[in-house]
Chain A
């Protein structure tokens, strides 16, 4: 089955795309989609422990099982608001 993947901020820069489409097996989780992407784009790998994910614009856990047509979003650590103390990259 087919899902849409949305990437933001630096994740988008690494993959060079805002939106991707991927074929996944029935029963596949968000994590398995992430691992597939990290295989394609090794620079994503270090984000494994710091990303958040969402399905159809709601926060979701990485072990959530996906359904046909779902939109999965991967979000790097957020930095909205005003000034920040911590920074990387």
Chain B
């Protein structure tokens, strides 16, 4: 598995940590994040979600996020896998691992990565709940939007 990936396979956080390959002692910290499908959403009982992506562009968006992290936290390394297809409640939709020299940057970088995924990765989810279904529509994706990027950085470093 590459560091950056998108596909239907279940996510394995340990696999991401292994892919970072930080066994040589260069990194002092790895922070990981797993995003899960919640059973309740705005009062609705969620049955399952369907994730869809424009996969080649999603991979480029992930690479862009890795590049932005390099600029902000030089030396930071990112592993990010996103799942697509039908996901049951309790399953993981996204897994992130960030390795840095010190823990503060790893925590910040990990938060930054998920915020940017939500802003610029061409991925959509459709929620199937008791009584219907709905496309969830969040942010207009614009990788050049400096304000969105600054907001992700602000949240990451709060």
Contacts and interface: CB of A to CB of B under 8 A. Distances in A.
Contacts, number: 114
B136 A79 contact: yes
- Which secondary structure characterizes the binding site on chain A? loop
B137 A80 contact: no
Nearest to B119: A78
Contact of B94 (A76, A78, A80): A80
Nearest to B114: A81
- Which secondary structure characterizes the binding site on chain B? mixed
B134 A57 contact: no
Given A52-B142, A76-B124, A81-B114, A57 B82 contact: no
Interface in A39-89: 50-52, 54, 57-59, 73, 75-84, 86-89
B126 interface: yes
Interface residues of A, number: 27
B9 interface: no
Interface of B: 35-36, 38, 41-42, 51-54, 56-58, 60, 82, 93-94, 114, 117-126, 134-144
27 contacts: A6-B54, A8-B122, A9-B52, A9-B124, A9-B126, A51-B140, A52-B122, A54-B54, A58-B60, A59-B144, A73-B57, A76-B135, A77-B138, A77-B139, A77-B140, A78-B122, A78-B124, A78-B138, A79-B118, A79-B123, A79-B124, A79-B125, A79-B138, A80-B51, A81-B35, A83-B35, A87-B134
Interface of A: 6, 8-10, 13, 50-52, 54, 57-59, 73, 75-84, 86-89
